[in-house]
Amino acid sequence: MERYDIIIVGGGPAGLTAALYCARAKLNTLVLEKKMPGGQILNTERIENCPGFDSISGLELAQRMEQHARKFGANIKLEEVKQILSERNAKVVKTAKDTYHAGAVILAAGGEPRWLDVSGEKEFLGKGVSYCALCDGPFFAEQTVAVVGGGDAAVQEAIYLSKFAQKIYLIHRRKNLRAKKELQEELFKNPKVEVIWDSVVENIEGKEIVEKLLLRNVKTGKNRPLEVSGVFVYIGFVPNSNLFNKNLQLDERGYIKTDYRMSTSVEGVYAAGDIRFQLAKQITNAMSDGTTAAIAAEAYLKEKGLV
């Protein structure tokens, strides 16, 4: 069983920033990432709001962050964490392959898009159902697509899809969008976008690929079919906060509660990035959280005599 000073769960911007700070502080640092370092920025074609990079691809930024953390000595392993247990002065992190010990843990595992939970959604995943316009938008050139949701993500991605698709329906369950005013203004000006208000998706239909949606107007109760080749679901986000759920305090949305040091309700366990509630899920917020968590965790390890 390998022992580290600190284990960071998740290799997105929060986790890789924490890894950089921990490694530079000479802590024996392990990052456990289930897929590929980068997290959600890997789904982002161009990033223009990370200071110092006026335009960079998500993939390149992820690779730079990974190399930077490795350069200072962080270990990064591609293993999915299954369970984390807290023992006296030690955290036990179990992956599908191995078990690791550490003095402290930083949870930076982000989250997943929320599903509509309607018939056809799983069946047509990758066959017209998508949660990533940046990844799949170009497949819908000159076609008709739907975007579901009324927040910043839905509105922003509907605008993005207008680069490719011929027509975009934005389906929202109310009569007012939750999205920022600037985004709403841009959406309403876009001639390719039509908003369908007060409506929800009842099911997704097709033979081999998506062909139509069945919509229900929540005010009138009436159903209507909508012919589309694709549907992009942007109805929120579910944080990956359940690895420790017995003792870890979560808020009503399932995000991990932290204080200003990123400390959670479990001693020696910190949280950073999209796994805790953020006004904006931005790279810069994730980096800031990762920095704070790393500094606080280092202080904790020293105070407890664990390093």
In the complex with ligand NAP, the residue whose CB is nearer, 73 or 151, is: 151
22 catalytically annotated = no
Marked catalytic residue, from 98, 135, 251, 259: 135
In the complex with ligand NAP, the residue whose CB is nearer, 149 or 290, is: 149
Marked catalytic residue, from 136, 152, 274, 289: 136
Alpha helices, H only, 29-114 = 58-71
Residues linked to residue 204 through DSSP beta bridges, in sequence order: 213
By the rule CB under 6 A, 216 interacts with ligand NAP: no
Segment contacting ligand NAP (CB under 6 A): 10-18, 33-41, 211-219, 231-239?
Answer: 231-239
Handedness of CA 120, 121, 125, 129 (dihedral sign): positive
Site string for ligand NAP, 264-293 (x = CB under 6 A): ---------------xxx------------
136 catalytically annotated = yes
Residues linked to residue 86 through DSSP beta bridges, in sequence order: 91
Site string for ligand NAP, 174-203 (x = CB under 6 A): x---x---------------------x---
Question: Which of 10, 149, 268, 290 forms a contact with ligand NAP (CB under 6 A)?
Answer: 149
Closest-by-Cβ residue to ligand NAP is 151
Question: Which of 15, 150, 239, 290 forms a contact with ligand NAP (CB under 6 A)?
Answer: 150
Contacts of 129 (CB under 8 A, 6+ apart): 120, 121, 204, 210, 230, 231, 233
Q: Cβ 193 to ligand NAP, closest distance in Å?
A: 15
Contacts of 271 (CB under 8 A, 6+ apart): 106, 107, 108, 241, 256, 258, 262, 264, 289, 293
Side chain identity at 63, as an amino acid letter? Q
Question: Which of 21, 100, 164, 234 forms a contact with ligand NAP (CB under 6 A)?
Answer: 234
To which H or E segment does residue 293 belong?
A: helix 283-303
Q: Cβ 228 to ligand NAP, closest distance in Å?
A: 16
Question: Which of 56, 73, 85, 151 forms a contact with ligand NAP (CB under 6 A)?
Answer: 151
How would you class 2 by CB atoms within 10 Å of its CB: exposed for 0-12, middle for 13-18, buried for 19 or more?
middle
98 catalytically annotated = no
Contacts of 76 (CB under 8 A, 6+ apart): 11, 19, 30, 31, 33, 37, 66, 69, 70
Question: Which of 235, 243, 262, 272 forms a contact with ligand NAP (CB under 6 A)?
Answer: 235
Question: Which of 17, 156, 241, 292 forms a contact with ligand NAP (CB under 6 A)?
Answer: 156
Total residues binding ligand NAP (CB under 6 A): 19
Measured N-to-C along each axis, helices 58-71 and 13-24 cross at an angle, to the nearest 10 degrees, of: 20
Residues binding ligand NAP (CB under 6 A): 148-154, 156, 173-174, 178, 200, 234-237, 279-281
